[in-house]
Amino acid sequence: MEVPLGWQPIQKPAEMAESRLLEAILTGVFPINSNLPGERDLADQLGVTRPTLREALQRLARDGWVEIRQGKPTRVRDYWREGSLGVLSGLARSPAHQDPDFVSNLLEVRMLLAPAYTEQALRQSSRDVMDLLANLTGLEDAPTAFARSDWELHSLLTQLAPNPVYRLLLNSFQQLYLLMGERYFAFEECRQHSRGYYLALQDCIHRKSVCDAEALTRRIMQESLALWQKLQKEDE
């Protein structure tokens, strides 16, 4: 039986409890470094069984949201300092609780990583990158289309790069990348800036200049960050 388009799968009890606890942490109901209520009380508040609550807490502990302490209350971690990459997935599911500066944070990370994995990818298979870039020439002038295409480009580059850490890092925040990408590409200047990058990268590949492609990517990533910060100030 096919599921109608637009329908969301029904959450399992542990997933529902996890989502509600995450929402409570992000909204400050359970602030950083506070203790969660006792197991029985918290299970009653969430309307789940205690085994279900334990499963939800184990999920949150795995990603660095909470610390389960034997014989002591469960503590809400300082997830910005103590969390893991799983925190990014949680943030992606809660866009209303993200600081606008988070786009800058992601752009800074990409600025550091993209030149290296672009250089590695082009040495492995410039043809695959060129084929994808060719499909971007007629890209729809819309934030969602640009966010998706930009993700596909950087995803391909990390897949081609021989260092697997790049793709593991990028894959860990795919949802967040797409979400923040829509915010970034809501500005026409950002869309035009990326169009220029795609064309310039094609030129580097035509000239078989991997070094130029790396330098280009570094410059474009720096300019992307500066452009976003400039547009944010103008929008205030």
Reading the chain (236 residues) residue by residue, the pLDDT tens digits are 454 555 555 568 889 999 999 999 988 999 999 999 999 999 999 999 999 999 999 999 998 999 999 889 999 999 888 888 778 777 777 766 666 577 888 889 899 999 999 999 999 999 999 999 999 988 999 999 999 999 999 999 999 999 999 998 888 888 888 888 998 999 999 999 999 999 999 999 999 999 999 999 999 999 999 999 998 888 76
The SS3 assignment for 51 reads: helix
- CATH architecture of the domain with range 13-78: Orthogonal Bundle (1.10)
Where helices occur in 64-136 by DSSP H, the ranges are: 79-82, 86-92, 102-134
The pLDDT assigned to 41 comes to 96
Residue ranges of the chain assigned to CATH 1.20.120.530: 102-235
Residue ranges of the chain assigned to CATH 1.10.10.10: 13-78
Contact 229, 123 (CB under 8 A): no
The pLDDT assigned to 12 comes to 86
Contact 154, 170 (CB under 8 A): yes
User: Among candidates 235, 154, 234, which has minimal Cα distance to 194?
Assistant: 154
In whole angstroms, give the CA distance from residue 178 to residue 150. Answer: 9
Q: What pTM does this model have?
A: 0.77
What residues pair up with 75 in beta bridges, in sequence order?
A: 35, 67
The pLDDT assigned to 80 comes to 86
Q: Which two tokens stand for residue 107?
A: 């752009």
102-235 CATH: 1.20.120.530
